[in-house]
Amino acid sequence: MSLFPIFVKLAGRSAVVVGAGAIGEGKIRSLLEAGAKVRVIAPEATAAVVEMAAAGEIRWERREYREGDVAGAFIAVAATSAPDVNHSVYAEARERGVLCNAVDDPPYCDFYFPSVVRRGDLQVAISTAGESPALAMQLRKELNEALSQEMGEWVRELGRLRREVLAAEPASEERKLLLHKLAGMPVCGAEACPARQVAREHAAEVKR
Question: CATH no. for residue 127?
Answer: 3.30.160.110
Residue 197 gets the label, from left (phi > 0), alpha (psi -120 to 50) or beta, of alpha
Provide the domain limits for residue 174.
151-207
> Which strand (E) or helix (H) includes residue 115?
strand 115-119
HEC sequence for 157-200: HHHHHHHHHHHHCCCCHHHHHHHHHHHCCCCCCCCCCHHHHHHH
Contact partners, residue 198, CB within 8 Å, separation at least 6 = 178, 181, 182, 185
Residue ending a domain, choose from 100, 131, 147: 147
188 and 166 inside one domain: yes
42 and 71 inside one domain: yes
pLDDT at res. 204: 66
Determine the Cα–Cα distance for residues 76 and 71; give it in Å rounded to an integer.
10
Residue ending a domain, choose from 101, 130, 147: 147
Contact partners, residue 186, CB within 8 Å, separation at least 6 = 194, 195
187 and 173 inside one domain: yes
106 and 167 inside one domain: no
99 and 63 inside one domain: yes
46 phi and psi angles, rounded to 5 deg = -70, 165
pLDDT at res. 198: 75
pLDDT at res. 26: 96
Beta carbons within 10 angstroms of residue 162's beta carbon: 15
100 and 127 inside one domain: no
pLDDT at res. 205: 66
Total number of domains in the chain: 3
Beta carbons within 10 angstroms of residue 193's beta carbon: 16
Q: What is the mean pLDDT of each run of 10 residues along the chain (208 residues)?
A: 88 98 96 97 98 98 98 98 97 98 94 90 88 91 89 84 84 87 73 72 64
Q: Is 7 contained in some domain?
A: no
Residue ending a domain, choose from 62, 91, 112: 112
Q: Is 180 contained in some domain?
A: yes
159 and 87 inside one domain: no
| Dihedral angle, C-alpha 83, 84, 87, 92, nearest 10 ° | -150
pLDDT at res. 188: 66
108 and 120 inside one domain: no
Q: Is 175 contained in some domain?
A: yes
66 and 78 inside one domain: yes
Determine the Cα–Cα distance for residues 140 and 147; give it in Å rounded to an integer.
11
